[in-house]
A and B are shown apart, each in its own frame.
Chain A
Amino acid sequence: MKNKNHSIVTRRNFLKAAAASTLAAPLVITTSALGANGRPPASERIVWGTIGPGNMGSGDMNSFLGFPEVQHVAVCDVRKSALERGVASVNKKYGNNDCKAIHDFRELLARPDIDAVNIATPDHWHAIMVVAACRAGKDVYCQKPESLTIREGRAMLDAARMYNRVVSGGSQRVLEDQRAMAIKSYAGEYGTIKEIYVSCGGPSWRCNLGPGEMKEEIDWDMWLGPAPYAPYHPYRCSGTFSINGTGWRSWQDYSGGGMTDWGAHRFGAAMFIADMRDQGPVEVIPPDGKDVKNLTHVFANGVKMYHGGGKGDITVVGDNKPIAPKPMPVYKGGGSIYGDFVHCVKTRQRPFRDIEFAHRTCTVCHLGNIAYALNRPLKWDPVKEEFPGDDQANAMRDRARREPWTL
């Protein structure tokens, strides 16, 4: 199939085109700054935008605002109150009124001066926004759980790789909550890990709330976006962290429930501890009330990862025959997950929670939800990302999106 005549771009043409594009490069930032107050000069700053400055988003945004090399220029939300709060935070930080309030994320992504964005919308928007951001040449920090479906996770990963973007998931707990276990594991002290018990909530459920009184200014159609049409109700869209039917984290159309919300942290940590962040299970078995007590992910290397059943957040069971230690991945550039992302934006390295690891973790969570829903053991091909010969389960890898939205 290979045709050598087709071969390759000539190097001269390639460099010529590259030089031309340099001339056309947009101005990075218009506000003057030559590195005063301990900040790098404007040309070395990362020009930033936030999409979704609500509960988690405001935390993320404020953390990134703390980096001298970050220059925040725009905030986007479909909720007026969140948008105003977000813009006010940025302006307060810089002591000016330069931050732009944007209603539609597409407008923010269309700005050529913006280098990176952090996204903390409800989960049903993550994939569309991350893919669009990559296509627009932005690096992305996306809150966990990064995806709502398995295919979305794959699309995010593919977009990151296609456009050479740095895309970090947003779970600080993978490294920070279970650091002691990770250190022990990478030091070889567990020996060969055989089982891991992971504690997190269960699947989301169907939302059938009727119309509720709208006491806030919100663009409801845009909030729903790719999700099925439903009437506004405050409990449908509240960003509460509680998963008890009072916010979007409870509902299937917008979230995978506690399974993805906390599972993104804790399955992520378990896979990190076991050094399996780039892997996926080959079988998922729901509890049967008899022999199988907990939903079980079986990996090709024989490791079994259970949903629940341990003594704490995570319980690791090894054979306790010490094995050779190996280097433990940590945040690059030192500091936090935010510093890790900023460092990687500058160096083009892959962040600690690279989108591939995030996708693998979220896939484990989605597989758990699918196995619970179908209530039968499922075979999974982690390379092809499909349930071999199982049309019913395969249909649950993704959903059609409400028009006009697509990945």
Chain B
Amino acid sequence: MKQLAVRSAAGVIGAWLLVFAGLAGAARGQAPAQDLYQLLPTIDFGGGEDSLKALQKEITEAKPTEFPAIEKKLIAVLNNKETKLCGQQFAFQMLRIVGSPACVPTVARFLGDEKLSHMARYALYGLKHASADETLRDALGKTTGNIRIGIINSLGDRQDAGAVALLAKLVGSDDATTVAAIRAIGRIGTPDAAKALETAKVADSLAWALNDARLHCAKNLAAAGQAAESRAVYTALCQGKAPALVRAAALTGLARLDGAKALPLIIDGIKSEDKLIRQGAAAAVVELTDPAVNLAIAKELPGLPAPAKVTLLNALVARNQRVGLTEAVNRLVSNEDSAVRSTAALSLAKLGDASSVPVLAGVLKNKDLEKEATQTLKTIWADGVGTELIKKAQDGEPELRAAVVEILGDRKEAQALPLVKQLSGAENKTIRFAAIKALGSLGKAPEIEAMVDMVAKSKDNGERDALGQAIQNAAKRIEDVEGRVAPVIKALADAQPEAQAQFIVILKALGGKNALAAVSKCLTSASAEVKKAALRGLSDWVDDAPLKSLKEMARSSKDEAERIMALRGFIRMIGLPRNRKAAEAVALYKEAIELAGRPQEKIQAIGGLGNTKDILALKALYEQFADPALKTEAMNAAVKVADQIGKKQNAKDIHPILEQIIQQAPNDGIKNRARSAMEKLSK
């Protein structure tokens, strides 16, 4: 691939010698730059990559004082009639960086060249000199078709004000040229350009280009400080017969020019029945930075039609300025229109403040606004919101209070912790459960201890589960793995069996050395319930720490149910660490298959092998093809592995296995996937 593509035998030898000399020199760090420039004309696609890379690095890193000398060499490369396309492209691309007016005459010769016009423009791209513009303008008259379109595009990109008249003359040529010329004039964006566009006549099918050009022109005029000229263009577009998309764009442009003064026009746009006009007006609202308009908007909001209210509310959310607007939006939560109510409730997340809490709490249990109100109360960010919510959690209907308590937890309102603790002992079950959940979100070490005590004392399975989940949630925020489980371990020994079972669930989810020891100890409990919970906990442990003990139990337990549960946990654990070496995983899965007395566990292990991307896994699966009870699963898993690891290099090992699957698989699905995996082996 790195060989030079040269046409003659002599050329091949000569080029190889040159490249070899250049690359060897480069490898020694002694590559004489001159050699690389001499090589350049001989390089074609498919060769000389290292030389080009070295030369590119040298040129891009050169100091400005070195540019003239480099430019001269690149010009020489372009003037060399033997230079191949690849070398020419390279020279042009480097001239983009080091070129000066000195290269323009040479570059100009290529502007009409079908293969190199683009690259010649590439060279001129960054050259800030009148000669570059003049050359491009000159080329307009000497080229046609796509080549001329490229030149037109470059004149537009360079914003060459001197090209407007020439470009304007091209309007009315073929469609593609007309479009390019119009759009280039728009990008140039001077008052002359605006005039040219105003008088340009195009077919209806090209009106989009003229509209686009006028929008660009107006934008550029505004950027250049020519507001009146810009406004004239936007106004003409707004008032004309342009499509709604364009009129909406012009409306937004006017709003950008006029700021708050454009508000009446924007409000009219918001009221429009046309979706695109509404979108344009909404976008203009988003960009109104002056807070003074808030009061005016608040005044307009109640009187707008429902769709306009929704549009405006969404725009105000995107604008994210609440001052002066909250009250008006609060009121819309009880609007007669359901879309307005829903949007207003959601909008308060950005536009609301503490005064919105009673409003939203008031609809928190209303079926049609519950979701919106909950979401907003969870995220609303303003002073005093937490305090207001705490007030709401203390009084009122139990269902509502419970919902507010949960919201306080989700908001991580630290100031609510004393109340939440208190309510976790509430008589009302709904409130109590909500408070327990919130404790999980807010609680720290003391609250974990308190909840552990509650688990020990609770007589209610549901409550124990809720407390267990809350303890896990709170403990997971504590980095000290052993410290966070200490109160649970402490309580485990003396607890009732039901509570012990819950503690085991907590410990298996949190893990750690001490937790493992404590749960392992429970395997010898006198309580069958606790013993079972301990084994289930170990099998479902958060990491693979119990792997060895589970394997041992799977091997030696006399109790079949216990043996199966241990075995299933063991198999599960093999796949837990993502960095376990494939060889180790495969050996463990094979052990599991040997230990399994029935197909269910063997199939579980086969599934694990199917997730092990290694040839050893494939071979282990192959060994199971002979067992009729496992054949389907083993072949299925084997195809999965083969598909993931198969390539030319290991085809020798994989091919016979896939061949056997294609011949013997019990269904066409597996056969087809095996065929597809087989195809990869040739790549």
**How far is A400 from B136 in the complex, measured between Cα atoms in Å?**
13
- Within the complex, what minimum Cβ distance (angstroms) separates B282 from chain A? 5
Q: For residue B119, which residue of chain A has the nearest CB?
A: A228
**How far is A348 from B270 in the complex, measured between Cα atoms in Å?**
12
Q: Does A158 contact B (CB under 8 A)?
A: yes
Partner of A8, one of B153, B180, B265: B265
Q: Does A56 contact B (CB under 8 A)?
A: no
Complex contact A400–B122 (CB within 8 A): yes
Q: Does A401 contact B (CB under 8 A)?
A: yes
Complex contact A1–B125 (CB within 8 A): no
Q: Does A21 contact B (CB under 8 A)?
A: yes
Complex contact A9–B265 (CB within 8 A): yes
Interface size on A, residues (CB 8 A): 61
Chain B 64-94 per-residue mask, 1 if CB under 8 angstroms from chain A, else 0: 1000000000000000000001100100010
**How far is A146 from B87 in the complex, measured between Cα atoms in Å?**
30
Chain A 12-27 per-residue mask, 1 if CB under 8 angstroms from chain B, else 0: 0111011111100100
Q: Which among B314-322, B328-336, B501-509, B569-577 touches the partner chain? A: B314-322
Complex contact A164–B280 (CB within 8 A): yes
Complex contact B245–A137 (CB within 8 A): yes
* Known pairs A2-B227, A209-B45, A403-B149; A161 contacts B96 (CB<8 A): no
Report A-chain residues with C-beta under 8 Å of the C-beta of B22.
Answer: none
Q: Does B10 contact A (CB under 8 A)?
A: no
Q: For residue B275, which residue of chain A has the nearest CB?
A: A25
Complex contact B315–A348 (CB within 8 A): yes
Complex contact B264–A11 (CB within 8 A): yes
Q: Does A94 contact B (CB under 8 A)?
A: no
Complex contact A211–B46 (CB within 8 A): yes
Q: For residue B231, which residue of chain A has the nearest CB?
A: A6
Q: Does A162 contact B (CB under 8 A)?
A: yes
Report A-chain residues with C-beta under 8 Å of the C-beta of B428.
Answer: none
Chain B 279-322 per-residue mask, 1 if CB under 8 angstroms from chain A, else 0: 11011001000000000000000000000000100110110000
Complex contact B122–A8 (CB within 8 A): no
Chain A 367-407 per-residue mask, 1 if CB under 8 angstroms from chain B, else 0: 00000011110000000000000011011101111111110
Partner of A406, one of B122, B157, B241, B258: B157
**How far is A218 from B153 in the complex, measured between Cα atoms in Å?**
27
Overall SS of chain A's interface: loop
Complex contact A6–B279 (CB within 8 A): no
Report B-chain residues with C-beta under 8 Å of the C-beta of A349.
Answer: 314-315, 317-318
**How far is A135 from B209 in the complex, measured between Cα atoms in Å?**
9
Complex contact A14–B269 (CB within 8 A): yes
**How far is A229 from B146 in the complex, measured between Cα atoms in Å?**
14
Complex contact A21–B243 (CB within 8 A): yes
Q: Does A210 contact B (CB under 8 A)?
A: yes
Q: Does A10 contact B (CB under 8 A)?
A: yes
Complex contact A19–B273 (CB within 8 A): yes
Chain A 291-334 per-residue mask, 1 if CB under 8 angstroms from chain B, else 0: 00000000000000000000000000000000000110000001
**How far is A209 from B48 in the complex, measured between Cα atoms in Å?**
10
Complex contact A1–B262 (CB within 8 A): no
Chain A 342-383 per-residue mask, 1 if CB under 8 angstroms from chain B, else 0: 000001111000000000000000000000011110000000
Q: Does A37 contact B (CB under 8 A)?
A: no
Complex contact A209–B232 (CB within 8 A): no
Q: Does A3 contact B (CB under 8 A)?
A: yes
Partner of A14, one of B46, B180, B238, B379: B238
* Known pairs A164-B283, A406-B156; A17 contacts B240 (CB<8 A): yes
Complex contact A9–B286 (CB within 8 A): no
Complex contact B117–A395 (CB within 8 A): no
**How far is A373 from B93 in the complex, measured between Cα atoms in Å?**
13
Q: Does B418 contact A (CB under 8 A)?
A: no
Complex contact B274–A374 (CB within 8 A): no
* Known pairs A164-B249, A374-B61; A11 contacts B1 (CB<8 A): no
Complex contact B125–A395 (CB within 8 A): yes
Chain B 210-237 per-residue mask, 1 if CB under 8 angstroms from chain A, else 0: 0010011001000001111001101100
Q: For residue A390, which residue of chain B has the nearest CB?
A: B64
Q: Does A30 contact B (CB under 8 A)?
A: no
Q: For residue B64, which residue of chain A has the nearest CB?
A: A392
Partner of A162, one of B125, B146, B219: B219
Q: Does B488 contact A (CB under 8 A)?
A: no
Q: Does B247 contact A (CB under 8 A)?
A: yes
Q: Does A290 contact B (CB under 8 A)?
A: no
**How far is A11 from B247 in the complex, measured between Cα atoms in Å?**
13
Report A-chain residues with C-beta under 8 Å of the C-beta of B253.
Answer: 162
**How far is A327 from B351 in the complex, measured between Cα atoms in Å?**
13
Report B-chain residues with C-beta under 8 Å of the C-beta of A396.
Answer: 96-97, 126
Report A-chain residues with C-beta under 8 Å of the C-beta of B121.
Answer: 400
Complex contact A210–B247 (CB within 8 A): no
**How far is A137 from B381 in the complex, measured between Cα atoms in Å?**
35
**How far is A8 from B284 in the complex, measured between Cα atoms in Å?**
15
- Within the complex, what minimum Cβ distance (angstroms) separates A397 from chain B? 8
Complex contact A375–B61 (CB within 8 A): yes
Q: Does B202 contact A (CB under 8 A)?
A: no
- Within the complex, what minimum Cβ distance (angstroms) separates B56 from chain A? 6
Q: For residue A9, which residue of chain B has the nearest CB?
A: B238
- Within the complex, what minimum Cβ distance (angstroms) separates A100 from chain B? 21
Report A-chain residues with C-beta under 8 Å of the C-beta of B208.
Answer: 135
Complex contact B89–A228 (CB within 8 A): yes
Complex contact B97–A164 (CB within 8 A): no
Complex contact B274–A350 (CB within 8 A): no
- Within the complex, what minimum Cβ distance (angstroms) separates B307 from chain A? 12
Q: Does B5 contact A (CB under 8 A)?
A: yes
Report A-chain residues with C-beta under 8 Å of the C-beta of B274.
Answer: 18-19, 21-22, 25
Q: Does B154 contact A (CB under 8 A)?
A: yes
Give the most central of B45, B96, B154, B234: most A CB within 10 Å: B45
Chain A 128-171 per-residue mask, 1 if CB under 8 angstroms from chain B, else 0: 00000001010000000000000000000010011110000000
Report B-chain residues with C-beta under 8 Å of the C-beta of A276.
Answer: none
Q: Does A231 contact B (CB under 8 A)?
A: yes
Q: For residue B314, which residue of chain A has the nearest CB?
A: A347
* Known pairs A13-B239, A15-B272, A406-B156; A395 contacts B280 (CB<8 A): no
**How far is A10 from B274 in the complex, measured between Cα atoms in Å?**
17
Q: Does B410 contact A (CB under 8 A)?
A: no
- Within the complex, what minimum Cβ distance (angstroms) separates A104 from chain B? 14
* A/B interface sample: 6 pairs, CB < 8 A: A14-B269, A22-B273, A211-B46, A398-B157, A400-B118, A403-B118
The 9 closest A-B pairs by CB, nearest first: A210-B46, A395-B126, A403-B150, A9-B238, A400-B121, A164-B283, A406-B153, A21-B244, A347-B314
Seen from chain A, the residues whose Cβ lies within 8 Å of a Cβ on chain B are 1-3, 6-11, 13-15, 17-22, 25, 135, 137, 158, 161-164, 205-206, 208-211, 228-231, 326-327, 334, 347-350, 373-376, 391-392, 394-396, 398-406
Seen from chain B, the residues whose Cβ lies within 8 Å of a Cβ on chain A are 1, 5, 43-49, 52-53, 56, 60-61, 64, 85-86, 89, 93, 96-98, 115, 117-119, 121-122, 124-128, 146-147, 149-150, 153-154, 156-157, 176, 180, 183, 208, 212, 215-216, 219, 225-228, 231-232, 234-235, 238-241, 243-245, 247-254, 258, 262, 264-265, 268-269, 271-277, 279-280, 282-283, 286, 311, 314-315, 317-318, 343, 375, 379, 381
Q: A6-B232, A349-B314 are in contact. List 14 more A-B contacts (CB 8 A).
A: A17-B247, A161-B252, A164-B280, A206-B53, A229-B85, A229-B89, A230-B45, A347-B317, A348-B282, A348-B283, A400-B125, A401-B150, A403-B150, A404-B180
